Structure 1
């Protein structure tokens, strides 16, 4: 694949003592042309211009994969298959055989539920937590309350508490819920409401000690991690974490919408039933009236025609993410199929994590000084991801977010699909306002967002028009 022209024109001046070159990073993003202060990154991040150009550049050789002998089909197939290799390398997975692509994190988690559905025995249970995104609770609720009862099978779900003051997972309560009938433990890597980074090594140890007898003969509970908020801003090594399943979405990692990832241990994918049937998941020519044979991994989990361009562009999002963190003025990995070294991935993700932590610390310090504010989750920025959810006394969170938008600050209000956690805190309505940051945000973005929140508490009209940004057509007049 040809390396694309970055047109970065970076001056390579580092922002302060930190080697993270924020000004060079920001030159790759188009949203700045509209003067936007993007602080809703926990929902979706912004794509760099190079990724959008890449998608357009694939049009001349646009063709299906695994379904043709033309040169275009062969080239597109090679690029598509390389995308699996890139994703596996980014996660530290052994090979592409451990990767399945879906539309988003939600579908990836549902695929695990449906693949394991027939393995659950009467009297089994699933353990998850009250801090989960709905996508890591509702599938298990539906399985236990709606699907398996129709098959005459009784399986329970159990919900572990979190400390309402600190937002930390209650490990003692979690341990009390896991027993010899716990087939699966489901836990978010980082809460999209509380921001809490969960101690996955401790959760893994509890799952290992359950003694549940899996079909493979293993005596342990499987561990599924919702990595939607963890993977985009952290160094993740699936083998070091020893997770059985991990899911995340690329739209929270610079790519356009439409591609989610499921990592699973190869022996689990090999033994499990597919989530979807038909098309590429069938071995070539192996359909008979008496037998159907499935394709080799990872294509066993690639039913139908896949999101080909989405997979290629999403894998390149990983590569440009590494480049932006390490060498924002020039491409090293983006636009290529060269291997992604673990050392480069670690260095890049640790640099991004450190930058995000600085932004979060600044936001926490500023918001805590505002009267009548309630901030949720850990106060230590090292124990949370780069988001801060809060409520203002006597203010509806939706109206707060609307006021912030009038001030030019993009936030999000609602339950953030973490409805259980909002109910657990007794919030009525179950909602909060949330600011969330990513690698292209600056301390000035944080300061202006905090100033806007403070202005809302004073009920003053507050509008931000930074001199260095052109007036945005998106801003209300």
Structure 2
């Protein structure tokens, strides 16, 4: 199952980032595409398509057969949970559940906790959230729980309009002894800011909320859809209760989202979906149903088997492509991924993409009438830049960029709250976003096109 990676072996511990070597695994550069819509979805390396093809030759369902094919597919599927756990430095596969995307994973948390909310509780979220980490909680508080006569408040923390930074003091003022859950993004997909998760963890832990298990403190959920693709995320160090991300933003467009949750929470919570694999074998009777062991308690029905396997191996392939350890191929291997290898890989990705974002901002500052959102030059920012140009419709600008071969995006980017809070009318911006395979030339060409198209559209 090992792909034909280029055999470029160098001593263990390489600390450079060879973007040309990484780009050689993708088809889009040869087609002249300037791919700068990576916050929405990344491009797949060709090895993943080849792996998917090979897997189909021995495809069978998992946990539902005694054939050699079924047993082999089950082993690969279960191993994928180990890979996801290793990538996040989670304790084990028992802390992992898979869904279609981050949105579904967040909804799974909401429905699992739904009946645990007590009358008078509250949820604290923020104005910098993706709609997927606001609307489920808004709906729970405004539409679902009221039907059962339960009052739960959804509180929303503000952000600094100039810097784009979350107002942590305001968030702290909203958290009290009735805050069951704090929900924050790990990185804004509009502003590019990264809230201080360690500080927010401390705020949540000190809330004084009395939990059903006898413990004290609010739960913390992190939407890491924009954080995981360009950062090393260690869920044990962050001490998050829940964390979700989408594999389609990490090279694997196969409809897979990953939810990490502390094992005690998954063991105690009710499932989101019922039926199929989440039921303990033979343990259904008219008056009693027993659930499967973790993590399969959260795997109802036939899952996205091939998507999960290939998405997990996309993470291994990223390690090989970045090349922090060229003494072996991790893609296709069953060897556990060492935390140090993951950390070194993602640190190189972070450094590279941060440089691209800084270059984009510097180039943007030379465009007449351009207003960018989020941190200024020299300040940390996730690898994206959202902006508007005075007198230019952002949708028209994105369309014009597309005709120039620059794949940008215009809209609210599902960050509607922040766009409206900034008073943008329409609530939209143009955005370029970068991944590990982007180059400085991509950035320069994209921002040059922004300059030229803005001038043309203003005539």
**Which TM-score band (shorter chain)?**
over 0.9
Q: What's the counterpart of residue 281 of structure 1?
A: 278
Q: Deviation of residue 216 (structure 1)?
A: 1.0
TM-score normalised to structure 1 length: 0.93
Q: What's the counterpart of residue 232 of structure 2?
A: 235
Q: Deviation of residue 3 (structure 1)?
A: 1.7
Q: What's the counterpart of residue 475 of structure 1?
A: none
SS state at 2:103 partner: helix
- In 2, distance between residues paired with 1:161 and 1:39? 29
Q: What's the counterpart of residue 149 of structure 1?
A: 146
Pairing partner for 2:30 from 26, 30, 33: 33
Q: What's the counterpart of residue 264 of structure 2?
A: 267
1:197 aligns with 2:182: no
SS state at 1:320 partner: helix
Alignment map for 1:430-445 (pairs within 5 Å): 430-445=427-442
SS state at 2:281 partner: strand
Q: What's the counterpart of residue 73 of structure 2?
A: 76
Unaligned runs of 5+ in 1: 462-477
- In 2, distance between residues paired with 1:166 and 1:336? 44
- In 2, distance between residues paired with 1:10 and 1:370? 41
Pairing partner for 1:93 from 90, 94, 113: 90
- In 2, distance between residues paired with 1:411 and 1:331? 36
Q: What's the counterpart of residue 411 of structure 2?
A: 414
- In 1, distance between residues paired with 2:378 and 2:223? 20
Q: What's the counterpart of residue 3 of structure 1?
A: 2
Q: Deviation of residue 257 (structure 1)?
A: 3.0
SS state at 2:423 partner: coil
Pairing partner for 2:400 from 403, 413, 423: 403
Alignment map for 1:50-449 (pairs within 5 Å): 50-326=47-323, 332-380=329-377, 382-449=379-446
Q: Deviation of residue 457 (structure 1)?
A: 2.4
Q: Deviation of residue 332 (structure 1)?
A: 1.8
SS state at 1:76 partner: helix
Q: Deviation of residue 330 (structure 1)?
A: 8.1
> Segments of 4+ in structure 1 off by > 4 A?
9-12, 327-331
Per-residue CA distance 1:374-411 (angstroms, 9 max, x = gap): 00001145521100000000111000000111111000
Contact 1:42–1:252 (Cα < 8 Å) also in 2: yes
- In 1, distance between residues paired with 2:341 and 2:123? 37
- In 1, distance between residues paired with 2:176 and 2:153? 12
- In 2, distance between residues paired with 1:457 and 1:316? 41
TM-aligned CA distance change 1:381 to 1:151, over 3 Å: farther
Q: Deviation of residue 18 (structure 1)?
A: 7.3
Q: Deviation of residue 442 (structure 1)?
A: 0.4
Provide the alpha-carbon RMSD of the alignment: 1.6
Per-residue CA distance 1:206-233 (angstroms, 9 max, x = gap): 1011000111111100000000000011
SS state at 2:456 partner: coil
TM-aligned CA distance change 1:105 to 1:381, over 3 Å: farther
Q: What's the counterpart of residue 470 of structure 1?
A: none
- In 1, distance between residues paired with 2:272 and 2:417? 27
Q: What's the counterpart of residue 467 of structure 1?
A: none
Contact 1:21–1:328 (Cα < 8 Å) also in 2: no
